[in-house]
Amino acid sequence: MIDVKETSLKSMLDRAINEAKNNQSSPLLSMTKKIHDINPLRFFEAAEQLAMNRSFWSATAETFYIVGAGSACDLADGAKTIEQMEENWQNLLAEAIIHNPYKTSGTGLLTLGGMSFDRAEHKSERWKNFSHLSFIIPEFILTKNDDSCYLTINIRVREDDHPGQLAERMKRMERTLLDSSVSLPRALSIKSTEDVAPSEWKQTVKCAADYIKQHHADKIVLARELQVKLSDEAHITPILRGLIETQTNSYVFAFERGEDCFLGASPERLVKQDKDKVLSTCLAGTAPRGKTQKEDARIANSLLHDEKNRSEHDFVVKMIRQSMDHYCFNVDVPEKPVIYPLKNLQHLYTPVTATLRKWHSIFDIIGKLHPTPALGGVPREKSLAFIRNHERLDRGWYGAPVGWLDSNFNGEFAVGIRSGLVQGDQVSLFAGCGIVRDSDPEEEYDETNIKFMPMLSVLGG
């Protein structure tokens, strides 16, 4: 990593082009500056005017946003495993020319993306635009952290580039992206919904429970799909706005690939890195919210003492701790879970904190954690085998890690649940639940209906 002090885009481009000529390479130039406050959703909407694929990340509880526009490169290009992608990241960092005097989390050279839930599965036509691994370094990144806003420009520079022309092109695009007068489109309405094979899904739940009773597995997570037809082609910005306004304590995300967009509001953090400190959270065990404060407290107390939900939760806690032990020390796990409230649901919640060992990274932990028992099952390989053989759904990026990391050893990944795939005027929504030996198909079906609510509500349902 070459850390430079120049502040002029043209002077940095001059340096990068000279480096490209001298080394016969194509270095990535990354420049971060502080800018006036701007609505992240207007930046996101303006990027569509430039026909740029977009990425969006928001931690709603922290007033933290990252919005990406365009693509300077895809880290996962040529990589088939997380390990190969991390090697690409480290090589890129070693050669990049970076100007970032702020060192604020989410600034500097940064990548956003995700992966398939099961990379061993053959990808269906529906997910054709989403590679099994895809992490984009956007051309433009807006980072909003509390009251401060930053703009990062990333450019892949070649030896025959003209610095003046390239600088002018980037400035024109910047003016468009930072135009505060960009209007936000209105939300659409739902025309119809179709539950995909509900009877077959309930039968699969029964089959999974029988499989568990025969001691082949302890838990299997099954997902299903709800297809939504909208009144017109979807606008992504108002969907994100609705999720931000309604889904507090969640990670609101969107990743465009071609004409398609995978988006959602996940309450489940997979792992967060702050230098050498890491945090993972167990969010397993679900109940609805009450209509009154008294009813809400009663449901929460029942969830805390429910044997099925506590057992499901403990599976996840144990697995996360074992995974952290591989790459961390000072692993700390509270003895009992607490309630994590959302607008429509409440969950059992246990945080796991640790210190990352030297020479290990957030990618190591992601590879070890995914899929957690909350999304796959226990034991992992047997539950995944059952899902591959019995689940009708191609999960794609649903239930898989999505998130970001930067060149200052910060990053955060969530599990892509409470989510959907937008394709024109069609949206495929996904929801799942953990099946154990005494699971009732009708109750599990009702639980997935509750989990569809966050997305349905912002689509106009």
Looking at the structure of the chain, the number of domains it has is: 2
Q: Which of 433, 427, 419, 335 is nearest to 56 (CA)?
A: 419
- Does 151 share its domain with 207? no
Instruction: Indicate which residue of 219, 256, 272, 412 is catalytic.
Output: 219
Do residues 234 and 422 make contact, with C-beta atoms less than 8 angstroms apart?
yes
- Does 218 share its domain with 316? yes
Is 245 annotated in the active site?
Answer: no
Q: Is residue 7 very low, low, confident or very high in pLDDT (cuts 50, 70, 90)?
A: low
User: Which one has a higher pLDDT value, 14 or 40?
Assistant: 40
Instruction: Indicate which residue of 19, 45, 256, 268 is catalytic.
Output: 268
Strands 148-156 and 28-35, sheet pairing:
antiparallel
Q: What is the mean pLDDT of the chain?
A: 93
Do residues 99 and 247 make contact, with C-beta atoms less than 8 angstroms apart?
no
Cα angle for residues 365, 367, 371 (degrees, 5° grid): 105
- Does 209 share its domain with 232? yes
Is 447 labeled as ligand-binding?
Answer: yes
Q: Is residue 267 part of a domain?
A: yes
Is 307 labeled as ligand-binding?
Answer: no
- Does 137 share its domain with 264? no
pLDDT value at residue 164? 87
pLDDT value at residue 450? 92
379 preceded by a cis bond (ω within 30 of 0) = yes
- Does 164 share its domain with 228? no
Q: Is residue 183 part of a domain?
A: no
User: Which one has a higher pLDDT value, 461 or 71?
Assistant: 71
Joined together, the tokens standing for residue 103 give: 């060192």
**Mean pLDDT of the region 163-188:** 90
- Does 243 share its domain with 156? no
CATH number at residue 392: 3.60.120.10
Joined together, the tokens standing for residue 259 give: 């004409």
- Does 200 share its domain with 280? yes
State the pTM of this model: 0.93
Q: Which of 337, 311, 338 is nearest to 439 (CA)?
A: 311
- Does 224 share its domain with 150? no
For residue 156, pLDDT over 70 is answered with yes
For residue 295, pLDDT over 90 is answered with yes
Where in the sequence is the domain holding 279, given as residue range(s)? Answer: 190-459
Joined together, the tokens standing for residue 218 give: 């302890």
Domain boundary among the residues 148, 177, 206 is at 177
At 364, which helix (H) or strand (E)? helix 362-369
Task: Give rounded-to-5 percent helix, strand, coil for the chain.
Answer: 35, 35, 35
Secondary structure (3-state) at 62: coil
- Does 148 share its domain with 201? no
At 252, which helix (H) or strand (E)? strand 251-257
At 271, which helix (H) or strand (E)? strand 269-274
Residue whose structure tokens are 């309630």: 339
Residue whose structure tokens are 């599965």: 121
For residue 410, pLDDT over 70 is answered with yes
Separation between Cα atoms, residue 46 and residue 64, nearest integer Å? 19
For residue 2, pLDDT over 70 is answered with no
Is 268 annotated in the active site?
Answer: yes
- Does 233 share its domain with 352? yes
Separation between Cα atoms, residue 334 and residue 338, nearest integer Å? 10
